[in-house]
A and B are shown apart, each in its own frame.
Chain A
Amino acid sequence: MENRTVRFAVNNNNNFYKIELSKTLIHFIEFDFTYFWEQCIEAGRIARKTGRLPQHIISNAKTVISRAHPYIEACIGSDYSEIVTDCIIEYICHSERIGLEELWARCITPKNMYESAIFRRVSEYKTNRAMNRWTSVVRLQEYARNKVNFIFGNGTENTAINAETVRIRKEYFDLAVSVAANELGCPVNAMPSVKMCTPATLPHAVFAVSKVSKAIYRRFSEALEQGQDMSYLEARDCSKIRDQVAMDAYNYVKNMSRPGELDMKFAMEAIRENPAEVYLPDSLKAAIDMEFELMAQREVYLRQCESCGRYFTVSDDNPRCDRVNSSGKTCRRQYEELCESIAMSAKTAAEEQLPEQAEEIPAAVPVPEQPKQERTVPAEVEKRSQKIYNALYKRVGRGIDENEFKEWSQYLSNMKRNYKIGEATMSQFEDFLDYSDRLCEEVKLAAKNKTPHAPVENDFIPPKTAPHTEAAAAPEKPEPRVPQVEGTVVSSDSVEIKPFVPQTFDTLFDAFMAGYQQDGEEEVAPEKREKKQVEIKMPSWERLTREDAYGKKNDQ
């Protein structure tokens, strides 16, 4: 764990700050600035009314943004002290669609402290003494996100993350920035950089390790008080005379001997508290880049969660993170539970439908659904099925009853569907059509004889379906029919002979129509036939006279 923590310091601040490798980065790229933004707008609104910025809101907003990154926290009293004003300026320019120059001109004669603060801050922008820290933080968040995506994002290539890959990607990204800077003519010393120091070699080491420094000063105070004032160098460029400056300073302590045991013990206690190495980033970008660099060196990698898409620190091969999501569970746990539930349901379904095949199903792995390529029924087969369908349809109610026809029709459509999805073969389909042809012949014959059709031998092989997928959905195969004669009730299990019952008719018309149809006559569909208007002629009765009935003799 200690390997994943580094310490850094900033100028004008004697404290040491901590960066937890990968955690700080993830926290920064995911940080939500909305609350800070709202606080700043509120502060600006109040300041516009009262003429001064409300300090309690500013203080609160600065506390909020300090949490985004340790570097901001370290510099909140110096470089980032005006970040709220920066945010207000950005908001004014954005909302009123004006540039900084116009805003500066508006506030050039400040009427209150609020305008004075804005004027002073924009003046600092104009004279390169400051930049808008708020927009800088937002841009750096985008920079960090892009860099994380570039190095650790799930790309199209299937390259495994390893030390070399990470290093190359990081170097490539940084080099791209350097190329752009070079081509645009950016001075090298204007780019962010990080120094690695120890607490004793920090620029403000005297204040950072103050107790020991005081003890040392006491040893050499006399010589130092009489020494040459070198503060004039502050205004000069000393980049070429650094060694000379250092040796001039060393000259006053060069005769130093080790301190006494007591003093050394005191120094040891004070120095032991400090970290062995301290980084000195000169900007937020430098701090972010430093974290990337140290992550690559210490093999701390990020990965994008396959469930939520957010980045997390790689600890094992699991592609899901340990963050608690909206379901109240971590992505990793949620996925495990999903797998378990799928496996359980698949197992249960298999056991219920095909117990004999249940053992073949993998216990914990969900069965992947293979995409099936649809086939089309050949045109001639389609035509043949349609012909049989039409022939049977015509004889519904005469050679074949309606339920029987529906059953056959359902079977035909299932056969077609199974053939299309590959669950049935063409030979099975043709067997079924052969059977249907024979059925059709029997039905025609039965219709001609005005009797139910004779049973047709069902010798085609029904298509087999997968037991756990199509078995439940497949229609039941028509029961094989036994020879049927008039007056028998057919059952698949047994045939029961019953006494002959003559045909009965409800009406005289039904009885009349039963024998009216002639074979070869144009046949009509049952519903059409029912609707056909039949003219019933009343019998013509003639009145007989006595003479007609009994003759004239009876009258006489």
Chain B
Amino acid sequence: MTMVFINETAAINGLADVIIKGGVSLYNAMKYIYSIADKDFYNVSIKDAFKVVLNNITDTDCLQALGLRISDETCKEMQNEEYNRVLSMMVYSLAVRIPTLKTVKNGDDSMTDDQLYRLYTAVMDKGAANYKDMISETFLETKYLVRKGKKLPPFTADWYKTYIYTNVPSLAEITNKNMFLLGFADVLFAMFYSCLEEELRSKILEYTADIPDNDEKEQ
């Protein structure tokens, strides 16, 4: 059955916003955590930083409470045009996984392919991009895997590392800070996606809430 929203357009835009914000949060979280290696390596526990990021999936500014700042001083290596493209790629990497939302059920209802595609289009329209085709996954491929009920590959930072090695020399250099970045990126990507997926599920159910059943309407 088709997933019925109170206001479908608003729901699609709302879900697109969550995905966009999720991408921005992941982008900022990478910078915040990278800044730990600048001066606060022994002051800030990365475990605490992860807890804050994963509990505030769409607002990583809470990391400032740990004393972390994004500035030219703390994240000098990330403050360049090449790295800025990572943001749109991160959003894209989340957008291609939109077909997995088909598994979200409200009773027997789930989002149709059309609704999922409209959501994907909305996200892409807001600036998601696959620069130099760094991300191998596509929307159609994910859709196929979901339809077939096959297991999706884990959400990893492989494309991110590849991009850095090939396009961001300041981060590709072997330094203490850069090795720290590559070390936490894998863990953060996987955990972040898991939490974002949960956030999207709850949002979908929120948008479909208070819709009376057909039986109730007839009565």
Real binding pair: yes
Interface residues of A (CB under 8 A from B): 105, 108-110, 119-120, 123-124, 126-129, 235
**Chain B residues closer than 8 Å to A110, beta-carbon distance:** 62
Measured in the bound complex, the distance between the Cα atoms of B39 and A193 in whole Å is 24
Contact status A126-B45, CB under 8 Å: yes
**Shortest distance in angstroms between B42's beta carbon and chain A's nearest beta carbon?**
8
* Contact (A109, B67) CB under 8 Å given A128-B43, A129-B43: no
Return the contact of A127 from the options B44, B56, B62, B73 (Cβ within 8 A): B44
Most central of A120, A123, A124, A128 by chain B CB within 10 Å: A123
A120 touches B56 (CB 8 A): no
Task: Indicate if the CB atoms of A109 and B56 lie closer than 8 Å.
Answer: yes
**Contact size class for B?**
10 to 19
In the complex, per-residue mask of B17-32: 1 if CB is within 8 Å of any chain A CB, else 0: 0000000000000000
**Interfacial chain A residues near B137, Cβ < 8 Å:** none
Max chain A C-beta neighbours (<10 A), residue from B44, B51, B52, B67: B67
Question: CB-CB contacts of B57-95 with A at 8 A, as 1s and 0s?
Answer: 000001001110000010000000000000000000000
Q: Which of A108, A120, A127, A128 has the most CB of B within 10 A?
A: A127
A126-B62 in contact (CB<8A): no
Partner of B65, one of A105, A120, A128, A235: A120
Cβ contacts under 8 Å, A119 to chain B:
62, 65
Using known A-B contacts A119-B62, A119-B65, determine if residue A127 contacts B40 with beta carbons closer than 8 Å.
yes
Q: Total contacts A to B, CB within 8 angstroms?
A: 33
Cβ distance A121 to chain B, nearest Cβ, rounded Å:
8
Closest to A109 in B: B55
Closest to B36 in A: A127
Tell me if A123 and B55 are in contact (CB < 8 A): no
User: 9 tightest CB-CB pairs across the interface, nearest first?
Assistant: A123-B65, A120-B65, A108-B55, A127-B43, A109-B55, A127-B67, A127-B44, A128-B43, A123-B66
Q: Which residue of A lies closest to B68 (CB)?
A: A127
> CB within 8 Å of A: which residues of B?
40, 43-45, 48, 51-52, 55-56, 62, 65-67, 73
Interface pair B43/A124, CB less than 8 Å apart: no
The answer to whether B51 touches A124, judged by C-beta atoms less than 8 angstroms apart, is no
- With A and B bound together, what is the CA distance between A127 and B51 in angstroms? 14
Return A186 CB to nearest CB of chain B, in Å.
Answer: 16
| Of A105, A126, A235, the contact of B66 (CB 8 Å cutoff) | A126
Do A124 and B67 contact each other (CB < 8 Å), given the known contacts A110-B62, A119-B62, A129-B43? yes
- For B45, the closest partner residue in chain A by CB is A126
Q: A108-B55, A128-B43, A235-B73 are in contact. List 7 more A-B contacts (CB 8 A).
A: A108-B56, A108-B62, A119-B62, A123-B66, A126-B44, A126-B45, A126-B66
| A residues near B43, Cβ cutoff 8 Å | 127-129
List 11 contacting pairs A-B, 8 Å CB cutoff, sorted by A: A105-B51, A109-B55, A109-B56, A110-B62, A120-B65, A123-B65, A123-B67, A124-B67, A127-B43, A127-B44, A235-B73
- A119-B62, A124-B65 known; A108-B45 Cβ under 8 A: no
Q: A390–B8 Cα gap in the complex (Å)?
A: 120
User: Which residues of A sit under 8 angstroms from B48, Cβ to Cβ?
Assistant: 123, 126-127
Q: Are B51 and A108 in contact (CB under 8 A)?
A: yes
CB neighbours (8 Å) of B65 from chain A are: 119-120, 123-124
Q: Which of B62, B65, B67 has the most CB of A within 10 A?
A: B65
Nearest chain B CB to A103 CB, angstrom units: 13
Chain B residues with CB under 8 A of A128: 43
Inter-chain contact B67/A108, CB cutoff 8 Å: no
Task: Kindly state the separation between the CA atoms of A110 and B51 in the bound complex, as whole angstroms.
Answer: 13
Q: Whose C-beta in chain B lies nearest to the C-beta of A130?
A: B67
- Cα–Cα, bound, A109→B61 (Å): 11
Minimum Cβ distance to chain B for residue A496 (Å):
112
Docked CA distance A129–B42 (Å): 12
Chain B residues lying within 8 Å of A109, measured Cβ to Cβ, are 55-56, 62
Select A129's contact among B51, B52, B55, B67, beta carbons within 8 Å: B67
Bound form: Cα–Cα A129–B62 in Å: 16
Which residue of the partner chain B has the closest CB to A117?
Answer: B65
CA distance A108 to B44 in the complex (A): 15
Which residues does chain A contribute within 8 Å of B52, judged by CB atoms?
A: 108
Q: How far is the CB of A167 from chain B (nearest CB, A)?
A: 39
> Distance (Å) between the CB of A398 and the closest chain B CB?
106
**Chain A residues in 8 Å Cβ range of B51:** 105, 108
Min CB gap B9→A, angstroms: 28
Kindly provide the distance from the CB of A112 to the nearest chain B CB, expressed in whole angstroms: 14
Nearest Cβ on chain B to A149's Cβ, whole angstroms: 37
Complex CA distance for A423 and B77, rounded to whole angstroms = 102
Chain B residues contacting A123 (CB-CB under 8 Å) are: 48, 65-67
- Specify which chain A residues have a CB less than 8 angstroms from the CB of B73 in the assembled complex: 235
